Structure 1
């Protein structure tokens, strides 16, 4: 009788829902996958009001980032960071970002898809070099959209309005429809419009140039709440069951983001949420992605083909006038009286037009038997980045037909391609012990062609060129190598697993635009040693996962500037670094109504060699033992959600708090500053009726002013800042 009572209690106790992931390129329960993974489900994304990159990165403790404005972001994981860069000629990122099956990683311009009708976001921590390849050096972030379903008709919409303290208002409309077309086909359409209000004021200021004494005012560039963004998009997906064994999924996504202003302020000189600008600051990010996935059962294995094509245009304009205060512009360009006459205003407008196309093809076989699971595949990627960066001074070179006010330009085409063969084998030695071995061979090539330099050059005497000078960049890198993965997992019980993993990750090699440290640089590699556990306790009410790790980073690719070598940024393989830490991810269903979630990461990432950017330096530019940039020692998020009935209507209240420790903004001592720690608190109240739901929410309730990124990208010290206290309301409906 006692045993029966205990079984009844266990059966009636609250249990967490199973979380399904595809981290190993096949569907599996999160608790059965021996990888440290954070997952934001569709419910979590909705409950946390997550709509873009900055929102979801805050919720993952192992991630850190920089982002000056939408579409311009660098991502770091587990402390593996040399600081990143936004220069498309230099080294690539160490974290790969995937949209469904396609890597959409870019140097300093990571794709920022709107987060709506998204099934989940998976964050795979640690090197994923075997299955995901290049740039998955420190980890991989995967955005997985909802797919069409033949089960039933489903549709819905959501409307949101927000008001920002001492700022503007934001409005958002989103909707989806899933339409079965018989028993074997379904169409899913998703659309969004997101109009983000601003909170940075472009205020009155002047700038005086030292050589000419010319003073420039910014009357034409003053505006309150000038950092706004309007994002629109559409996704269409079609699923067709070709027969009982084969399925085809075709998808197309289009998104356009019109961006005004910058998300930086100048608190020391002008005050919080204030900045001064002397030229236009805007951007337009427009992209289209096409994807095809074919899946079939061959009997002995499942075959998957995944192909995709991305076409992206990114155009940006920024004020760069501060460069002329103590640079070479006045003495050599705008105030070179001997050749060009009287001094003119040296204020600079920077612009960049990038046209990026990328195609990927992957063919893989996956099979499972009683004792062996295996996956083998081949992958190919080809990316072309055609970018034209211009530094323009309006009064110079009047009347030139081609280059007009241009004085410096980087007009280049970068082509990156890679072919890889990969495989992983899981062998169950016993019912409890499983071993994994994986390997990836890759062969990559990078070419860089075009022109970089000044359009002012001697040709029969000093003069501005009437057109862009001829190409002076023609560099090529090619090389092949491999990455290894070894893992053991042991089922302590039906509900607890422990694992130990050794894994390698890499960034591809590349080319330099100018001689000095070599025409090419090599891949850099990361060796990771990880001990982890997955456990489901208290009859399914408590999920407690975690990992301990130690990583060694060798031949680190670092971008640097040394005028003794070149006036251009270069990349070299220098020194080493290490990172170690612990991650905890736990969810506890206290009752059927109360759920608590904690995610925490402690990370210590340091250089293990002195670094000298100049060979004649007596003091290092970065020192052994210093923290790597953008690597907070501690970061965590805590969420509590309580469900209850308000009358007959299901309701919920939720609190979410994220904390990010202090961290440094640069690897080089000369530019290095410590950014303060910060914490962000949000809350929401949700109520549901018959087919409708509504919520009230508040973000950054304590009105924290967070230092997200201290930067000098525009040659003056500015700080990227978060959105002030915001209150909002949303309403949505579902139809079936």
Structure 2
């Protein structure tokens, strides 16, 4: 049966239906019964279905996951029931619906969570928006919310088109975040790391950390090479070779972590994977606002507080809305200096984010946005005399300033049977850091105390055009142009004021790419997916040498392919086997403080075998994967004898690992989530091809594990959740260089949280590092003095945070 758009019945038909109802109401009960029987007979004669029959008859339903439009068409084919649609259907992805059920039940399942409802209109159903009202306060929590594993209808977009997580043949971790004001605190990037298997992060401090996925870790130092993990904010590529901006995750819907090489869709710099932040877009229908005030106290340290706010305002009902986010956060310090500076490593973070959504037509959406965030850290957070001491003798403060700005425009709409997406973004980042270089003064011909200052600016422009089937489909093609610029100088100044430039960065990179991915049935239920990116990179590196400026111009054409086989399982499960490759371009780097050397592009290949499976009732879900990675010409930032950071090709590496996760809702509001990962990552051969002995890749621990127990609670009309989480971080090494191969990690942390809500109010509490352990989270702090003795970065001591939020 067809799907009808626009009007449901002609004026004559409506008049006939109204007259018939009135005539029937005036007749006797016998006449009513006769008329009803006649009406049913007429409906059956013309091929229609009476409302009662449509409601009560059962049908063999098997509607695959896909767009709402294609799902409704399948529904009509399988039930013989017509569907009417007022206007254009919204762009939604529905979950699979299968089994024997009534038409009513099938439609309820298809439309669950969509904001739409099916209303009977004679022998048809009419799809319309559910009645709108002001957003109610959060409902009492009877069960903890479903995790991504036990919520098979969760949609991910990190593969650049909406897909059901249960159908994606790739290892992905999805961390859903509660709407702002409904949780005790905005999670940090460290919280995300503790909740996702395979993700590791250094601990230099906010705005200075590097992320690694599945052991693809080249160095703990912030040099000139690209990170192995690319940060993506919605459709914006946020980093190319800049440090992680560490965006505050306020008003974020979820974080998606794509594991393994992502070169086919994201190009260079995605060797380990993608860290994808998905923000909440403006709501076109409802006005709302939320304000949260928080205060924290750090044992052995100071106290601090924060204010955060989110406001949403429709400007034209259903067509235009604006959403604003603002925050100012002070994080208390806990490191003291012998010169009298106490709690010196406190940090201030301030930011705004503005988004505008415009729907000029039913099938078109325009999203515009800007964001600005400034992170100012007063000092670093390492110590020298053991990981249980929180005092050090630094003579010079070591502040860091990371300023990040972003503007973006995304246009999405329908062209015939295709979906067109145009994503344009501009990113600017300034990164300034100061270090005490007194230990290396003599190496630069200076005397006494010396101050190292590194000032860098990064800019990034990205334009993408993508086409895919409007109904969700099984393919995607795109074009991309990316331009990146990095520039900066590093200077050392002694106490007498003498200064010299010791390092420079001046690089321009342009990347042109065509990419695509397609899936199709292969044998029976087996699916095959192929993807590839062909990109041409033009890079221009400039560096200063004693005899003048050296320029290196390189043009290279690269191909990054991927291929996977997948088999769907019952209850939204999947088994998959995937291969993918990614690359990074080479460049220039200081070689000895005077000369300039070069480093070549590196390449990584990964094979990944994984499974995701949930029970029919969604209460128990398991996922697991095993992976094998080989990495050629590993680019690595490393320390020169004078403390400067350079880049080289270190050799060839191999990584083998397994990871698994479990989510279990036991009933009665109790749930358990657990996971773990084991990996073996080694640098096998040096750049000269010589075999190496037991050189572990840096930072990423060999073993990690987590478990969280959550319980829904109710206290005197307040409803909420209490949870306890424990994490074990296994041992890791700082570097595969023998003179810096220092151990870190091998500690466990426990945290707890409590959230209760009543009406528009939410009160929350979190207790981090509840046992006040002083494990060494990162065996590094200052490159100029690290060879003089051990350095430790202790865990943040026991921290209590209290918050109160109000929604309007």
TM-score, length-scaled by structure 2: 0.77
After TM superposition, the structure 1 = structure 2 runs for residues 305-384 of structure 1, keeping only pairs within 5 Å, are 305-324=422-441, 327-329=442-444, 333-334=445-446, 345-367=447-469, 373-384=474-485
CA distance in 2, matches of 1:255, 1:188: 17
Aligned match for 1:451, one of 540, 544, 548: 544
Aligned match for 1:432, one of 525, 536, 546: 525
1:674-701 CA-to-partner distances (Å, cap 9, x unmatched) read: 1141111111222111111101221100
CA distance in 1, matches of 2:803, 2:217: 38
Aligned match for 1:82, one of 198, 218, 224: 218
Confirm or deny: 8 A CA contact 1:442 1:482 kept in the other structure: yes
Confirm or deny: 8 A CA contact 1:475 1:513 kept in the other structure: no
* Cα distance, 1:301 vs structure 2: 1.1
1:440-470 CA-to-partner distances (Å, cap 9, x unmatched) read: 01111222224367xxxxxxxxxxxxxxxx8
Aligned match for 2:373, one of 248, 255, 260: 255
Aligned match for 1:390, one of 491, 499, 507: 491
* Cα distance, 1:611 vs structure 2: 5.5
Aligned twin of 2:78: none
* Cα distance, 1:596 vs structure 2: 1.2
Aligned twin of 1:459: none
CA distance in 2, matches of 1:267, 1:694: 40
Matched, 1:722 2:806: no
Please state which structure has a larger fraction of its residues in helix. Answer: 2
CA distance in 1, matches of 2:401, 2:645: 26
1:45-87 CA-to-partner distances (Å, cap 9, x unmatched) read: 9757444333322322301121312111111111112224312
Matched, 1:130 2:207: no
Confirm or deny: 8 A CA contact 1:72 1:108 kept in the other structure: no
* Cα distance, 1:318 vs structure 2: 1.8
Closer/same/farther in 2, CA of residues 514 and 660 from structure 1, 3 Å limit? closer
1:552-585 CA-to-partner distances (Å, cap 9, x unmatched) read: 111222344677xx99755443431111111112
SS at match of 2:349: strand
After TM superposition, the structure 1 = structure 2 runs for residues 510-549 of structure 1, keeping only pairs within 5 Å, are 510-513=587-590, 520-549=598-627
CA distance in 2, matches of 1:492, 1:517: 58
Matched, 1:162 2:296: yes
For the aligned residue pairs, the C-alpha RMSD in angstroms reads 2.7
SS at match of 1:476: strand
Matched, 1:229 2:373: no
Confirm or deny: 8 A CA contact 2:143 2:712 kept in the other structure: no
Aligned match for 1:497, one of 559, 571, 574: 574
Closer/same/farther in 2, CA of residues 48 and 323 from structure 1, 3 Å limit? farther
Aligned twin of 1:264: 382
Number of residue pairs the alignment of both structures matches: 658
Q: 583-592 vs 698-707, which deviates more?
A: 583-592
CA distance in 2, matches of 1:23, 1:33: 11
Aligned twin of 1:669: 738
Closer/same/farther in 2, CA of residues 132 and 632 from structure 1, 3 Å limit? same
1:468-491 CA-to-partner distances (Å, cap 9, x unmatched) read: xx8533222321110111111111
* Cα distance, 1:394 vs structure 2: 3.0
* Cα distance, 1:435 vs structure 2: 0.7
Aligned match for 2:209, one of 73, 95, 102: 73
Confirm or deny: 8 A CA contact 2:289 2:312 kept in the other structure: yes
Larger Rg: 2
Aligned twin of 1:62: 198
Confirm or deny: 8 A CA contact 1:171 1:194 kept in the other structure: yes
Aligned twin of 2:402: 285
Aligned twin of 1:607: 683
Aligned match for 1:713, one of 783, 791, 807: 783
Closer/same/farther in 2, CA of residues 94 and 119 from structure 1, 3 Å limit? same
Aligned twin of 2:46: none
CA distance in 2, matches of 1:150, 1:534: 35
CA distance in 2, matches of 1:519, 1:675: 31
CA distance in 2, matches of 1:513, 1:51: 38
SS at match of 1:266: coil
Matched, 1:111 2:257: no
* Cα distance, 1:415 vs structure 2: 1.5
* Cα distance, 1:625 vs structure 2: 3.6
Aligned twin of 1:479: 556
1:236-267 CA-to-partner distances (Å, cap 9, x unmatched) read: 00000111221100000011122101111123
CA distance in 2, matches of 1:568, 1:659: 33
Matched, 1:43 2:178: yes
SS at match of 1:362: strand
Confirm or deny: 8 A CA contact 1:447 1:511 kept in the other structure: no
After TM superposition, the structure 1 = structure 2 runs for residues 556-635 of structure 1, keeping only pairs within 5 Å, are 556-560=634-638, 570-610=646-686, 623-635=692-704
CA distance in 2, matches of 1:255, 1:638: 33
Q: Which runs of 5+ in 2 are unaligned?
A: 1-99, 102-108, 110-141
Aligned twin of 1:151: 285
Confirm or deny: 8 A CA contact 2:298 2:332 kept in the other structure: yes
TM-score, length-scaled by structure 1: 0.84
1:384-422 CA-to-partner distances (Å, cap 9, x unmatched) read: 1111111111315xxxxxxxx213432332212211110
* Cα distance, 1:631 vs structure 2: 2.2
CA distance in 2, matches of 1:199, 1:570: 31
SS at match of 2:269: coil
SS at match of 2:448: coil
SS at match of 1:709: coil
SS at match of 1:281: coil
SS at match of 2:440: helix
Confirm or deny: 8 A CA contact 1:576 1:608 kept in the other structure: yes
Matched, 1:301 2:403: no
Aligned twin of 1:651: 720
Q: 38-47 vs 123-132, which deviates more?
A: 38-47
Aligned twin of 1:202: 337
Aligned match for 2:390, one of 273, 278, 281: 273
Aligned twin of 2:235: 101
* Cα distance, 1:277 vs structure 2: 1.3
Confirm or deny: 8 A CA contact 1:184 1:240 kept in the other structure: yes
CA distance in 1, matches of 2:471, 2:306: 48
SS at match of 2:385: coil
CA distance in 1, matches of 2:296, 2:160: 39
SS at match of 1:318: strand
* Cα distance, 1:367 vs structure 2: 1.5
CA distance in 1, matches of 2:388, 2:674: 35
Aligned twin of 1:175: 309
Confirm or deny: 8 A CA contact 1:87 1:108 kept in the other structure: no
CA distance in 2, matches of 1:733, 1:381: 42
* Cα distance, 1:44 vs structure 2: 9.3
SS at match of 2:695: coil
Confirm or deny: 8 A CA contact 1:537 1:544 kept in the other structure: no
